[in-house]
């Protein structure tokens, strides 16, 4: 504030900045309000109705919070929530740590090598989930899958394993595939962020005799914190919303062990036509994600150095 021209007090400045800021945000906010907020409000509102294909939203079908009450007595939903939480708890740290490790391993390599690895890890993302999943599905196939073929050729198994049909393995297969399709973006971001780390600070520390590990934690880690925050939040949201993998691979089975909230929401809306109920699931999911994101923000913002 010391450099603020004297004629502007801080309120006037903020008012001025408010006008400027909203002008800057106008285009984005326009699209946001029109194509996200508006439909979203409609989604939240319809979750209060017994809205199905048969019953449109009207005064008669208003049921207040009944959808939400039913939701928490629905065993399938609770199981799906548990599965989703397992996915998040395993995938988010795995993706974040692995991508950080890969990026710090490759970002100082020669340009060609770095490009190569960055591309490799980004390949599953650009190839498209549907195509990649078809290949994975074949690899995990119980009869003609390559995984069983290789394992039995090596003599590690004597009987074919139904990877995606076995309650013990199915969710881990999902996690593995999810992992390969999720780490691409974080690696690209981390490489960019690590490249932006102030090199003079690193060199100064090295002159002072700091080890690589110390340099990493004391200098690089705080500087890539905004990126980490972004990656953690995005991966959490993506994992919560994991849907196409489940649909293409297991349809929630075996015995509901890979059913996620998103997939359950989808089946309710698109095969049972219970739109209101499905929307209430979406709202609950959104609230949980929002709370988690807020916590992640609070915890990690402490470490962010601007």
Partner 1 sequence: MKKIQKALALMLALCMVLALSACGGDTPAESKAPEASKAPDTTPTEQGGEPADDVELLWWAPPTFIQDADDPAGTYEQKLVEEFNASHPGITVRVETIDFTTASDKITTAIESGTAADVLFDAPGRIIEYGKNGKLVSLDDMFTDEFKKDVGNDDLLTSCQGNGTYYMYPISASPFYMAINEKMWTDSGAIEHVNLEGNRAWTTDDFEKAIEKLAAAGYNPGVLFCSGQGGDQGTRAFIANLYDGSVADGEKYTFNSDAMIQGLTKAQEWINKGWLGNGVQYNGGGSIELFAAGTTAFEFCWGTSAAGNNAATMESNGVTPISLPFPSADGKPVLEYLVNGFCVFDNGDAAKAEASKTFIKWLCDNTENVTRTGAFPVLQSMGNLYPGDAEKELLVEFTKMYGPYYNTMDGFANMRAQWFDMLQKITGGGDVTELANAAVEASNAGMAG
Partner 2 sequence: MKKNKITPYKVISVIILCVVAFTFVFPFYWIITGAFKSQSVAIALPPEWFPTEPTLANFERLFKNPALQWMLNTVLMALGSMLLVCGTASLCGYALAKKRFYGQSIVFGLIICAMALPKQVVLVPLVRMMANLRLRWLYYAIGVVAVIALVMIVVTAVKNSYNWLPAEARRDWKVKDYLFHLLVAAIAVLAVVYLVVLFMPGGLIVKTKENTPMTDTLWAVILPTVGWPFGVFLMKQFSETIPNEILEAARIDGAGELNTFLTVVCPIIKPGFGALAIFTFINTWNDYFLQLIMLQSRANLTISLGIATLQAEFATNYGLMMAGAALGAVPIVAIFLIFQKFFTQGITMGAVKG
Closest of 93, 166, 179 to residue 136, by C-alpha: 179
DSSP string over 115-183: HHHHHHHHHHHHH-HHHHHHHHHHHH-TTT-HHHHHHHHTTS-SS---GGG-TTTHHHHHHHHHHHHHS
Cis preceding-peptide flag for 274 (omega within 30 of 0)? no
Of 278 and 283, CB closest to partner 1: 278
CB of 88 to partner 1, least distance (A): 24
Of 149 and 297, CB closest to partner 1: 149
Binding mask 100-139 for partner 1 (x = CB under 8 A): ----------------------------------------
Contact partner, 188, from partner 1, partner 2, none, Cβ < 5-8 Å per class: partner 2
Among 85, 117, 165, 180, binds partner 1 (CB under 8 A): 165
Of 74 and 230, CB closest to partner 1: 74
Which residue stretch of 46-54, 99-107, 181-189, 200-208 sits at the interface with partner 1 (rule: CB under 8 A)?
46-54
CA count, 13 A, side-chain hemisphere, 36: 6
Which residue stretch of 191-199, 202-210, 273-281, 293-301 sits at the interface with partner 1 (rule: CB under 8 A)?
273-281
H helix intervals, the chain? 10-32, 38-46, 66-71, 75-106, 111-127, 129-140, 146-153, 170-182, 184-195, 199-207, 212-215, 221-223, 225-240, 244-249, 261-270, 275-301
The one-character DSSP state at 110 is -
Of 104 and 247, CB closest to partner 1: 247
Q: Does 275 bind partner 1 (CB under 8 A)?
A: yes
Of 14 and 168, CB closest to partner 1: 168
Q: Does 43 bind partner 1 (CB under 8 A)?
A: no
Residues 140-159 that bind partner 1 (CB under 8 A): 140-144
Of 50 and 228, CB closest to partner 1: 50
Query: Which residue has tokens 């600070």?
Result: 201
Contact partner, 155, from partner 1, partner 2, none, Cβ < 5-8 Å per class: none
């Amino acid at each position: 504030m010391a450099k603020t021209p004297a004629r502007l007090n801080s309120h006037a400045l903020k008012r001025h900045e408010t006008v400027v800021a909203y002008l800057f945000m106008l285009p984005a906010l326009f699209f946001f309000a029109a194509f996200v907020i508006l439909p979203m409000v409609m989604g939240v509102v319809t979750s209060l109705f017994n809205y199905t294909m048969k019953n449109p939203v009207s005064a008669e079908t208003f049921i207040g919070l009944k959808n939400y009450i039913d939701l928490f007595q629905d065993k399938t939903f609770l199981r799906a929530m548990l599965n989703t939480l397992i996915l998040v708890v395993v995938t988010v740290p795995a993706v974040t740590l692995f991508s950080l490790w890969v990026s710090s391993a490759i970002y100082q390599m020669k340009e060609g090598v770095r490009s190569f690895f960055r591309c490799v890890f980004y390949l599953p993302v650009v190839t498209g989930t549907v195509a990649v999943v078809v290949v994975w599905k074949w690899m995990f196939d119980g009869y003609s899958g390559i995984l069983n073929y290789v394992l039995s050729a090596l003599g590690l198994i004597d009987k074919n394993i139904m990877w995606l049909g076995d309650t013990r393995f199915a969710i881990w297969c999902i996690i593995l595939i999810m992992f390969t399709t999720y780490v691409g973006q974080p690696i690209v971001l981390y490489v960019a962020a690590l490249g932006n780390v102030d090199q003079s600070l690193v060199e100064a520390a090295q002159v002072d005799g700091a080890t690589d590990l110390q340099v990493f934690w004391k200098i690089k880690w705080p500087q890539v914190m905004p990126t980490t925050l972004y990656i953690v939040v995005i991966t959490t949201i993506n994992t919560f919303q994991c849907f196409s993998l489940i649909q293409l691979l297991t349809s929630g089975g075996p015995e509901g062990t890979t059913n996620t909230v998103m997939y359950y929401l989808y089946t309710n809306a698109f095969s049972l036509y219970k739109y209101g109920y499905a929307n209430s699931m979406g709202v609950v999911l959104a609230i949980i994600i929002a709370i988690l994101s807020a916590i992640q923000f609070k915890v990690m913002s402490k470490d962010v150095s601007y």
